């Protein structure tokens, strides 16, 4: 009987998972800095400067017409708080598809209104498409040019089950990444 209870508990832990990730499906390891990455002064550790997030490039090829779409995704440099005790980073994705350039923000919002700010410019209001999972907008060439010149983009929005928050993105090398894309000519296709 005792062996049966132990086996049942082991099976339950295997199926449900024995982690503390608040219901997410995949456990995320906590990175720890290597000793070489942590400078020290006279034997005392000096806090390492926070490294900016890196752009992640992905592409998709349409199986019907062979058209290639390119996506550049970046996580925010700050955490947002969701619901009661959730926490995580927002993501933006700049996408170039066959006839348009778009910007996607995850998580989304049930309200399409948001504000954004390029570097130290005045905040601007906009309404993006919204379905709760993400917010999206088409990018015209003027706004794309501003994004490519911007170092910091701030977006103020209200994620589901949360209060209004600001996600900050370090766009430091977006211009170089966009200009390297041969599959998508972002400048010519950026039109609303």
pLDDT digits over 62-102, tens only?
899 888 889 999 999 999 987 777 889 999 999 988 778 89
Could you give the domains of the chain? 56-189 (2.60.40.1880)
Cβ atoms of 138 and 94 within 8 Å: the answer is no
Split at pLDDT 50, 70, 90, the class of 185 is low
Instruction: Tell me which residue of 52, 87, 94 sits closest to 70, measured CA to CA.
Output: 94
Split at pLDDT 50, 70, 90, the class of 8 is very low
Instruction: Tell me which residue of 190, 129, 182 sits closest to 157, measured CA to CA.
Output: 129
């Amino acid at each position: 009987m005792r062996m049966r209870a132990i086996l049942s508990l082991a099976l339950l832990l295997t199926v449900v998972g024995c982690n503390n990730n608040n219901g997410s499906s995949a456990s995320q390891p906590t990175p720890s800095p290597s000793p070489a990455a942590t400078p020290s002064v006279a034997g005392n550790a000096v806090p390492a400067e926070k490294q900016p997030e890196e752009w992640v490039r992905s592409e998709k090829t349409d199986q019907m017409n062979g058209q290639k779409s390119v996506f550049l995704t970046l996580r925010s440099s700050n955490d947002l708080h969701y619901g009661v005790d959730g926490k995580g980073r927002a993501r933006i994705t700049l996408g170039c598809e066959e006839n348009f350039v778009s910007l996607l923000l995850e998580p989304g919002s049930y309200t399409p209104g948001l504000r954004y700010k390029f570097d130290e410019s005045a905040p601007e209001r906009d309404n993006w498409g919204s379905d709760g999972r993400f917010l999206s907008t088409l990018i015209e060439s003027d706004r794309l040019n501003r994004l490519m010149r911007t170092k910091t983009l701030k977006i103020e929005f209200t994620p589901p089950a949360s209060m209004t928050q600001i996600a900050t993105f370090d766009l430091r090398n977006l211009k170089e990444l966009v200009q390297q894309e041969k599959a998508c000519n972002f400048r010519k296709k950026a039109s609303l």
